[in-house]
Structure 1
Amino acid sequence: MRRTTAAVLAAACLTLAGCGSSTDAGAAKPSPSPTVDPDKKFINSVTGADLHSYATKGMPAASELEAFPPKWCTALDAGHSVDWMLGDAGGLYPWGADWGTEKADAYQLVVFGVAAYCPKYSAQVKTELRDEGVY
């Protein structure tokens, strides 16, 4: 009787512990993917692009540029287009008190910003810009 009880308890422990499956024994748990700060991703993209707009005076302060992408994402959430965002109606054209951005570079900034802050809109934005012949 003791052997039967011991065998039943041992089997129950193995089942609860998950030790009975040979397929689980060597399986590695996926490591969590590192999160990348959207500000850093955006600024790294802008810096690496060598945009013509910033060639002579240099790039504007990161804090000034970083203010735009969250607003672009909000506009996209509301169903607006890139043309609307960068036009008079949207008022989200990337410029500051002592710096400006050429239109071609502004489109590129939107692509970088959307990729960093709201990537679910990346394909939509690129398609829109391609359809307009500006990307």
Structure 2
Amino acid sequence: MPTRTPNLGDIMRRTTTALLAAALLAGLTACGATEDGKAAAEPKAKPTVSKETRYLNAAHEITFNGEPSDAELTAFPPQWCSALDAGHSVEWLLGDGGLYPIGDEWGTVKQDAYTLVATGTKAYCPENFDAVRDELRESGAY
């Protein structure tokens, strides 16, 4: 069987088809398309704020008698969480539990102590936050 020599029209069609396919592929790649042709959503970077920072931001809004260090303030939330995990109440934390936020040269009023416990719980052990919030609401403190 004799071989057919491609004519100029065949060459132009093939070249045009190849160029269009390359352009289409490049366009899809540039748009971040997935295999099914849908545009891929680029993940948006969420700023992550540490639990310590969230707690300290709230603590720094409270007026203390004296000036507690951040280390003194951040010592409390893990202890509160442990006591709450053991089934203790906020009232117990700030009373018999000996976990009232106070230091040798600083202190705070009870209402602010409640705020610190709520904020610390929400940041460090959010699974206990609903119980803390409910207790403080029932007592009229929150």
Q: Same fold (TM over 0.5)?
A: yes
Query: 3-state SS of the aligned residue for 2:60?
Result: helix
Query: Residue type matched to 1:108 in 2?
Result: T
CA RMSD of aligned residues (A): 1.8
- CA shift in 2, pair 1:31/1:78, >3 Å: farther
Which residue in the other structure is 2:26 paired with? none
1:31-59 residue CA offsets vs partner (Å, 9 max, x unmatched) = 464432222111111113x33xx1x53x3
How far apart are the structure 2 equivalents of 1:80 and 1:29? Answer: 45
- Structure ID, larger Rg: 2
Q: Percent identity of the aligned residues?
A: 50
1:4-52 residue CA offsets vs partner (Å, 9 max, x unmatched) = xxxxxxxxxxxxxx72x13xx313154464432222111111113x33x
Matches within 5 A, 1:42-121: 42-48=55-61, 50-51=62-63, 54=64, 57=66, 59-88=67-96, 90-121=97-128
How far apart are the structure 2 equivalents of 1:129 and 1:115? Answer: 13
How does the TM-score come out when normalised to structure 1?
0.71
How does the TM-score come out when normalised to structure 2?
0.68
How far apart are the structure 1 equivalents of 2:140 and 2:85? Answer: 23
Q: Do structure 1's residue 40 and structure 2's residue 46 form an aligned pair? A: no
Unaligned stretches of 5+ in structure 2? 1-33
Query: Residue type matched to 2:107 in 1?
Result: G
How far apart are the structure 2 equivalents of 1:32 and 1:123? Answer: 29
1:71-116 residue CA offsets vs partner (Å, 9 max, x unmatched) = 111111111110111112x111111111122111111110111121
Which residue in the other structure is 1:131 paired with? 138
Unaligned stretches of 5+ in structure 1? 1-17
